[in-house]
Structure 1
């Protein structure tokens, strides 16, 4: 039964990839789906790119263990700040200005908005460097689940997942990814609800599970009794750091922001914001809520020996075979959807912005498409090799690079992108300072972690600080640096002043 479910799932993914080849005949169609993607596909593409196996297996288990049921706040933050507010603040302006500047990637936006080829190349290099370890980390967590369900080697799982993702992304581009994300999102929505219900029932139901969690004590975490069943958990300050990084961080991640480039129309933005928020509330809130009950399985988990990644698989190990099959499909869906978004973002950036702006200028549409497809294969292959090396040699620092990558990308890009959409005074120098500070801080955290203050030794907290400081640095540096070229800035912002006729239900007439 488990094998049949997997084979049907794989066949559907490949079939959609081949079907969508007709949408991927030029760069605009391949990278952005022709900027004609509707609200449901865009919202699900955003949500499934947001939540991967790293969230379901790694973060949910780790933070659920640390903060108990209060870790649900992370999911709520992801829904309200990472989804709803991101759509409201970034969605419309991103779609309008990127089309006006004819930019298909985040580096292309920086290059056109600030009239800087160097800024475009620099940002594309940052994406290239920091997206690869992020991509490799997606495979983490799959090993235990596949071992539990099928008793097959982890290397086989990685190769299989890499090949399938490569086939449908290379064939159908963004549209194939969006349609498959929709299917994978449906699986994630129903899967997480069913799994939560099954796990809680195995502990006597919701109230019994909460009562059991209230009896758990850990002097190392808190001397307060029942803290793991409390509203804010044993460590509210560090919990806030996780909420900020995982919620606000999406505003600066290229694979997330790029979803707004492809939105079809105004109504799609309104509908998409609601759909995306509800999706995040169920999937992310559900994952962290489930992880919050991890300590009920402490008699079966050895954190010292197996790490936090063993918590969620242990919680699911006693489910029925059909539910385990559902879990495997859910985690595969979460990982493959995020993987496809990352490789499209990284390969298109490397081809269009880095190579196209330096070594391979004036490439034809056909050559651009071929090069993007080649780099998709290369990125997937490199990430798969890194994941296999990490698994075989137990090089743990590779798995930890997820937090470093997320913090560096969001710390470097969030403030320049946000201010670039809203504020004419944003300067080129401010962007460079933010790029250098965000990446530099996270690299320093990785190399000299013990020298940092205790609160900032966590890559999560350090990434949150990188984003917040960036939001302060950009306006300060912009005000003390030379003003940008008025003609270029006015041209970029002229797209917002274009008059558009709308129905009276949207705006009253004179």
Structure 2
């Protein structure tokens, strides 16, 4: 216990120290939100990866999908690396950097408002982002708190509150630059931690070969067969150790949600706004992909052996396992030093994701709802012009409001985490489904296609949010939250494309002016 507490205290002191050191660079809006658009490839790549993978993946997704799909759950990690990292950087990185810098966009809602010339889109996008980032944040709290409860014996509620306070401290102090530096430190811990834990856990099962052999003998339990989804209806012996598992199509839906979804999440895409230049993007692509392959691939690979450990608790009323307890139960028998490493691993992953989420939410609310226009400050502008003194005053006020909203956002998501309505994986499915379902298609197509119309963007917002909310209100009667999120994302492309064909186009002059940024490169 002394070792666990000591390592955790050292780690937390370092994160707060980084926030204090970075505070001078967080005085302006660009400095607080984007790190002055001068963050290098290593910091950006690790910030992308650590924001991507948190306790939601390590505890929630790895446990639940490892149990359902066995060793084939590893494909989710491969998809995260290839689609969620490699292709995301190749397709989005350069164009996002150039266009957002050209139109002076700082947030994703700001992009929609400026790219399509519609302040209503900016307003709607900022509200969607704020609302649906909350359940994802709550899921992160739940994941890390369950690991802390296992490793330290501290009640779940206290863990969640402590994490909320510590994350708030270093984000409020140092903004994005502090977050990026801490992400780098936390990323190194994650790389070392996941590889070590996998080796030790498999060794406890007699080694890799023996563990795979035992997974080949694993079959669905009586409780599995009560699963109303029919996931194991056509199960064959050895499916849990096969290449594609017992339900390939269901597995594909998870791969799509967790991999393609990152392309439309404000906290992920925002990383491309802040990177220094094109050469940094090329290096960042390689770093980010390798990071994802090790961390995500390792998490799902580890979770795929969950059936070799004691069966998790089952709730007969809901016909559901306590999926979020699977990974913690796999780690309970580890030596204290390794449990300390696991706690630091999940703590690192979760604090980086929390920092990214709260920074994205607060900046969106401040820049896209409260201060949509510099000239909206009544009494501070004379003759339509803003002098340097007033401009500096406005900048300071914006940063102050963002810091206040960080506290508000953390408190709100903490309330949900203390009274969670769903499993971690379902919370993430709702969040990613609504956000990426609404934002992915109009953002990606808006970078490449001049023909996207304003009405098509509105239609996609309604589609992504509408489908997710309707399914949630009907008790997931249409689809489970994971598959619903995947359908929302992919369907958004059809919505934007078809509606754009039959609705009025944006003025060619304005569109050409926006796309002129690509002609220089």
Q: TM-score range by the shorter chain?
A: over 0.9
Q: Partner of 1:136 in structure 2?
A: 138
Higher mean displacement: 221-230 or 424-433? 221-230
- Deviation of the 1:475 alpha carbon: 1.4
Are the counterparts in 2 of residues 134 and 405 from structure 1 also a CA contact under 8 Å? yes
Decide which of 449, 459, 463 is 1:433's aligned counterpart: 459
- Distance in 1 (CA, whole Å) between partners of 2:375 and 2:307 is 55
Q: Partner of 1:276 in structure 2?
A: 288
Q: Partner of 2:384 in structure 1?
A: none
Q: Partner of 1:506 in structure 2?
A: none
Q: Partner of 1:267 in structure 2?
A: 279
Are the counterparts in 1 of residues 128 and 435 from structure 2 also a CA contact under 8 Å? yes
- Deviation of the 1:151 alpha carbon: 1.2
Q: Does 1:309 align with 2:339?
A: no
Matches within 5 A, 1:85-234: 85-218=87-220, 220=225, 221=232, 222-234=234-246
Change (3 A) 1:435 1:330: same
Are the counterparts in 1 of residues 426 and 482 from structure 2 also a CA contact under 8 Å? no
Q: Deviations over 1:434-467 (max 9, x none)?
A: 0000000000110114642xxxx21111111111
Q: Does 1:461 align with 2:483?
A: yes
SS at match of 2:244: coil
Deviant stretches of 4+, over 4 Å? none
Q: Partner of 1:366 in structure 2?
A: 396
SS at match of 1:141: helix
Higher mean displacement: 270-279 or 374-383? 374-383
Q: Deviations over 1:282-313 (max 9, x none)?
A: 0000000000000011x353244861011100
Change (3 A) 1:360 1:436: farther
Decide which of 379, 392, 400 is 2:409's aligned counterpart: 379
Q: Partner of 2:248 in structure 1?
A: 236
TM-score, length-normalised on structure 1?
0.94
Decide which of 382, 388, 391 is 2:418's aligned counterpart: 388
- Distance in 1 (CA, whole Å) between partners of 2:235 and 2:116 is 53
Q: Partner of 1:472 in structure 2?
A: 494
Q: Does 1:491 align with 2:506?
A: no
- Distance in 2 (CA, whole Å) between partners of 1:388 and 1:73 is 32
TM-score, length-normalised on structure 2?
0.92
Q: Does 1:407 align with 2:433?
A: yes
Are the counterparts in 1 of residues 61 and 424 from structure 2 also a CA contact under 8 Å? no
- Distance in 1 (CA, whole Å) between partners of 2:515 and 2:465 is 29
Are the counterparts in 2 of residues 114 and 428 from structure 1 also a CA contact under 8 Å? yes
Change (3 A) 1:360 1:342: farther
- Distance in 1 (CA, whole Å) between partners of 2:54 and 2:465 is 23
Q: Deviations over 1:297-344 (max 9, x none)?
A: 1x3532448610111001000000000001111111111100000011
Change (3 A) 1:285 1:45: same
SS at match of 1:424: coil
Are the counterparts in 2 of residues 300 and 314 from structure 1 also a CA contact under 8 Å? no
- Distance in 2 (CA, whole Å) between partners of 1:54 and 1:451 is 24
- Distance in 2 (CA, whole Å) between partners of 1:212 and 1:330 is 27
- Distance in 2 (CA, whole Å) between partners of 1:377 and 1:153 is 23
Decide which of 351, 371, 386 is 2:366's aligned counterpart: 351
- Deviation of the 1:367 alpha carbon: 0.8
- Deviation of the 1:398 alpha carbon: 8.3
Are the counterparts in 1 of residues 323 and 423 from structure 2 also a CA contact under 8 Å? no
Q: Partner of 1:29 in structure 2?
A: 31
Q: Deviations over 1:352-406 (max 9, x none)?
A: 001113899348111111101110111112112221233xxxx447873321111
Consecutive unaligned residues in structure 1, runs of 5 or more:
500-510
Are the counterparts in 2 of residues 84 and 277 from structure 1 also a CA contact under 8 Å? yes
- Distance in 1 (CA, whole Å) between partners of 2:163 and 2:205 is 33
SS at match of 1:259: helix
Q: Does 1:320 align with 2:335?
A: yes
- Distance in 1 (CA, whole Å) between partners of 2:422 and 2:261 is 24
Say what the alpha-carbon RMSD is for the aligned residues. Answer: 1.6
Are the counterparts in 2 of residues 355 and 361 from structure 1 also a CA contact under 8 Å? no
Q: Does 1:419 align with 2:445?
A: yes
Matches within 5 A, 1:72-83: 72-83=74-85
- Distance in 1 (CA, whole Å) between partners of 2:91 and 2:51 is 19
Q: Partner of 2:21 in structure 1?
A: 19
Change (3 A) 1:273 1:397: closer
Aligned pair count reads 490
SS at match of 1:204: coil
Change (3 A) 1:84 1:450: closer
SS at match of 1:386: helix
Q: Partner of 1:3 in structure 2?
A: 5
Change (3 A) 1:150 1:98: same
- Distance in 2 (CA, whole Å) between partners of 1:400 and 1:119 is 27
Q: Deviations over 1:464-494 (max 9, x none)?
A: 1111111111111111101111111111001
Q: Deviations over 1:197-222 (max 9, x none)?
A: 00000000000000010111127324
